[in-house]
């Protein structure tokens, strides 16, 4: 099944070929789940989003247009589902504060705050939503800038800006750990 192009695999999966469906799931499901988990920080919710994403995929496959890679399409759907869930959780905050304050420019203030450095996962989870999306797709899942921008429905320049801010924030928050890494 690995010798097939993605389009062949999708065509076969749409017609009910179980091997093609399994290959599609095995290749893309972990990425979708991890992206959803980083956004929602909840295993059950991430699994729900992953399942819903593939339910939509099964419906979309018969009319599939190879405009984007399946993983890009799936991450777009998953991110939208995650945003919906996050919006429902924080309806007031989302309207008033679409992004958390970027603390990258004031690392000393941030380090002296009550937040403790729990590790890279916790610090990624604490990033503003869009920065987390960008970092998750590019730095952690290895998408190209074009794929990630498409998945997030932003321009390549906007993605680049989000990534730079995310990395600056992480660098500032984990300055002590990073000093140890460099030694």
Partner 1 sequence: MTREKMTVERALELIEAFGAEPGGWPDDERDAVSALIEAEPDTFAKALSEARALDQLLLSEASPEPSAELAATILANAPVAAPTRNSIFDGLSSVLFPRGVRWPAGAAFASLMMGLVGGYAYASGGVGYDQADAVYYAAFGVDSDETWLSLE
Q: Which residues contact partner 1 (rule: CB under 8 A)?
A: 13-18, 21-22, 25-26, 29-30, 33-34, 37-38, 43, 46-47, 50-51, 54-55, 58, 61-62, 120-121, 124, 135, 138-140, 142, 144-146, 156, 160-161, 163-164, 167-168, 170-171, 174, 177-178, 181-182
- Quick one: 182 exposed, middle or buried, by C-beta within 10 A (0-12, 13-18, 19+)? exposed
Nearer to partner 1, 19 or 101 (CB): 19
Q: How many CB atoms lie within 10 A of CB 79?
A: 24
Q: How far is the CB of 170 from partner 1 (least distance, A)?
A: 6
Q: How far is the CB of 102 from partner 1 (least distance, A)?
A: 14
Nearer to partner 1, 101 or 120 (CB): 120
Nearer to partner 1, 76 or 145 (CB): 145
Nearer to partner 1, 13 or 75 (CB): 13
Q: How far is the CB of 109 from partner 1 (least distance, A)?
A: 20
Query: Do 153 and 73 meet the contact criterion of CB atoms below 8 Å apart?
Result: no
State the Cα–Cα distance between residues 33 and 181, nearest whole angstrom: 29
Distances (CA, A) of 92 to 59, 60, 96, 147: 34, 33, 6, 31
């Amino acid at each position: 099944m690995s010798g097939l192009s993605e389009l062949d695999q999708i065509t076969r999966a749409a017609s009910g070929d179980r091997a093609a469906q399994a290959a599609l799931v095995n290749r893309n499901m972990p990425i979708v789940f991890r992206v959803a988990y980083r956004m929602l920080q909840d295993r059950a919710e991430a699994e729900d989003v992953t399942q819903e994403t593939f339910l939509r995929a099964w419906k979309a496959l018969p009319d599939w247009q190879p405009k984007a890679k399946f993983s890009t399409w799936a991450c777009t759907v998953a991110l939208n589902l995650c945003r919906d869930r996050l919006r429902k959780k924080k309806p007031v905050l989302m309207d008033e504060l679409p992004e958390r304050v970027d603390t990258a420019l004031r690392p000393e203030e941030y380090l002296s705050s009550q937040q403790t450095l729990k590790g890279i996962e916790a610090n990624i989870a604490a990033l503003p939503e869009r920065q987390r999306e960008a970092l998750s797709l590019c730095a952690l899942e290895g998408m190209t800038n074009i794929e990630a921008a498409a998945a997030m429905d932003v321009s390549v320049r906007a993605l680049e800006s989000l990534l730079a801010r995310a990395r600056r924030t992480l660098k500032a928050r984990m300055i002590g750990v990073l000093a140890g890494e460099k030694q």
